[in-house]
Chain A
Amino acid sequence: MGAIGAGLAVVGAGIGIGLIGMGVAGAIARQPEAKDEIRAQTFILAILVEGTAILLGLLGLFIG
């Protein structure tokens, strides 16, 4: 069960990071001059999503 949970967490994080990437690509295409600010914000959002995935993955692997 733990492995299934870890896999589900990774699926969620994958969807999340994909959506962030989609938004970033669209935003940079619309406003190339705001590239640097968009990139910095992207990192924070991606980190938050990824942090959850790693937390849940470790919990799933070590507890479940």
Chain B
Amino acid sequence: MSIDKTDKKDPVDIAIEHVANSDIHHPLFDIPFLKQFFFGIDLSITKHVFLLFLVAFITVSSIVFLVQRYISSKTKIPGKMMSFIEMVIVFLRKDILKGFIGEKYYKDWEGLVYSLFFFILIGNFLGLIPIFDLLGLINYLGGGNSNDGTILANLTHGGNTITANINVNFALALITCCAFTVAGIRKYGFFKHWKNLAPPGLALPLYLIVVPIEIMAMLIRPLSLTLRLAGNMMGGHLALIIFTMFIITNAQEYGIFAGLGTSIFSVTLSIGILLLEILISFIQAYVFALLTAVYIGMAVNVDH
């Protein structure tokens, strides 16, 4: 296969497309008639929306299926996946929930923390598996065009890491935000909860400084949750795709042997980064669950 030098695509564009959603001209399923019900907002199903459904389906079906099978079995011997889930849940319960929310109240928020953990973990892992890039390669080798508008061609536009999308993460962070507000209000009542934000017993002029700082700190929590997850996933995937793009840029500039020579280093480095990314997937899911529990704990256990 010869390399066409006239049809160069900017490597930066390819790298950005790898972590971005599919663009507005290539939605997966175009639903134009919904526009009139939602004030002109385009609600076509893009790739990340489709992947959100997929991740939710995998999370619910796999975990519910495994747990149901375990409960209904007579021997009560956990299988391989069930032991993994048990290990994770025992770890989360002991370290995070009991540690930060407390023995008394952790039962109310167990479901939320586990769901967030598994949802983000599966989202991160699905981003690491390049299924859709492989589909694009198969489509290309089969003579298809990536712009011909079929679903297979549209699937190859955009990356498949939903947790690198700021919108997805902001939605998850807003759930956390609602959760710790509700947790505080349920325990202390509506007005007492907002009073708890500032520590009691300060001099009156100090409150003029403390109250705005506390309100800002509360508003910045969802933002920091969002940017942490998005930045970590986006950074890892950008590093991966840029190391891989070195092969193509070198092959385009200096010929096919330069590309082959670069590929030895690029592939080795990419495998290293991929292993690091697997670790980061776990850590970021853990961190999101941990911070959810910490914020709920801060709302529930106010020091007086």
Contacts and interface: CB of A to CB of B under 8 A. Distances in A.
Contact of A58 (B95, B99, B231, B286): B231
B231 A47 contact: no
B108 to A, nearest CB: 20
Nearest to B224: A51
B291 interface: yes
Interface of A: 36-37, 40, 43-44, 47, 50-51, 54-55, 57-58
B95 A51 contact: no
Contacts of B197: none
A34 B290 CA distance: 19
A57 B95 contact: no
Nearest to B290: A43
B230 to A, nearest CB: 8
A57 B231 contact: yes
A7 to B, nearest CB: 14
A44 B232 CA distance: 16
A47 B291 contact: yes
B224 A36 contact: no
Contacts of A57: 231, 235
A47 B95 contact: no
State the 3 A-B residue pairs at the shortest beta-carbon distance, nearest first: A54-B231, A51-B228, A51-B224
20 contacts: A36-B95, A40-B95, A40-B99, A40-B100, A43-B286, A43-B290, A44-B290, A44-B291, A47-B287, A47-B290, A50-B228, A51-B224, A51-B227, A51-B228, A54-B231, A54-B235, A55-B231, A57-B231, A58-B227, A58-B231
The B interface, classified by DSSP as helix, strand, loop or mixed, is helix
A43 B231 CA distance: 18
Nearest to B100: A40
A40 B287 CA distance: 10
A40 B99 CA distance: 9
Contacts, number: 33
B238 to A, nearest CB: 10
Interface of B: 95-96, 99-100, 224, 227-228, 231-232, 235, 286-287, 290-291, 294
Interface centre among A37, A44, A47 (most CB of B within 10 A): A47
Contacts of A50: 228
A36 B184 CA distance: 27
Nearest to A43: B290
Nearest to B96: A40
A58 B232 CA distance: 10
A54 B290 contact: no
A24 to B, nearest CB: 15
A44 to B, nearest CB: 7
Contact of B224 (A43, A44, A55): A55
Given A51-B224, A54-B228, A54-B232, 8 more contacts: A37-B99, A40-B95, A44-B291, A47-B287, A51-B227, A54-B231, A55-B224, A55-B227
B106 to A, nearest CB: 14
A54 B287 contact: no
Contacts of A58: 227, 231
Contacts of A37: 99
A39 B227 CA distance: 24
